[in-house]
Amino acid sequence: NKEGLLSLSQIYQIKDDFKQAYECLKIAANYHFDVKNSSTYAYCAMQAGDYDEAINIYRILMNSDDKNPVLKINLANCYIQKSSYDLALPLLTELAKSNPQSIQIAQQLSLCHRSMGNLELAKEALKAVIHKKQENADVFYNYAILLYQTGETSEAIEMFKKVIKMEPDNALAHKDLGTIYLNQHLISEANDEFQKALKLEPDNAVINFEYANYLSVTGDFISAKTLYNKACEIDNNN
């Protein structure tokens, strides 16, 4: 019955098993249409990966509650998962205005701009929360990448150093800093960063590949070949 299925769905949600929770709600919705037009149904659909269904329900819900920020951000999340960045962008832009200190919204807004090729706007989205004294390593990391991509190399280096100071075990930050040093022909500094990255995540295909590039550039072709092969073994799809 409806109540039993809803209770079972709640149990699955508590266990973070949203696929099973969603299946229970879909069965209940076949007999009780009100189940489908609910934020719980939409959220479970989103978490289960049925983004089209989640989008449909969130849009219906927003017809009667278009000021609800939770509905907006979840709808934007669904659009992002489908790479529909142009549809997520206006929702996130509006949310950022009303929630200027939200790191989550700033990150998603930046992602949309970046995915659409607007790197300067992507930087501005993150800068907005950085200027509000938000100390967040993920924000700093993404901002550092954007700085480097827009040619602000010195600023990118300083930002990556901030990330590493906050998270010394951030292997990707060490790897990216090593790549910048290599491109600037700072061979010793690059080697230090690549070694730290590889020590932290020895089975990371990207780190193995980037360090192999470094070794190839510096003439250690035998070691480079070993790491290239290892990178391919770890990620044989690329």
As separate numbers, helices (DSSP H) first and strands (DSSP E) second, the chain gives: 15, 0
pLDDT score, position 238? 61
Mean pLDDT rounded to a whole number for the chain: 93
* Mean pLDDT in residue range 132-150: 91
* Cβ-contact 176, 196 below 8 angstroms: no
* Cβ-contact 180, 148 below 8 angstroms: yes
* Mean pLDDT in residue range 132-156: 92
Quick one: 129 exposed, middle or buried, by C-beta within 10 A (0-12, 13-18, 19+)?
A: buried
Model confidence at 35: pLDDT above 80 = no
pLDDT score, position 111? 97
* Mean pLDDT in residue range 139-158: 96
In this prediction the pTM is 0.86
Could you give the CA distance from residue 171 to residue 166 in angstroms, rounded to a whole number?
12
| Model confidence pLDDT, tens digit, residues 207-216 | 999 999 999 9
Q: pLDDT grade, residue 106 (50/70/90)? A: very high
Model confidence at 2: pLDDT above 80 = no
Model confidence at 202: pLDDT above 80 = yes
Model confidence at 231: pLDDT above 70 = yes
Residue environment code for 4-18, b if the CB has 16+ CB neighbours within 10 A, otherwise e? ebbebbeebbeeeeb
pLDDT score, position 29? 85
List domains and CATH numbers for the chain.
Answer: 1-66 (1.25.40), 169-238 (1.25.40.10)
Instruction: State the DSSP code for 170.
Output: -
* Cβ-contact 126, 96 below 8 angstroms: no
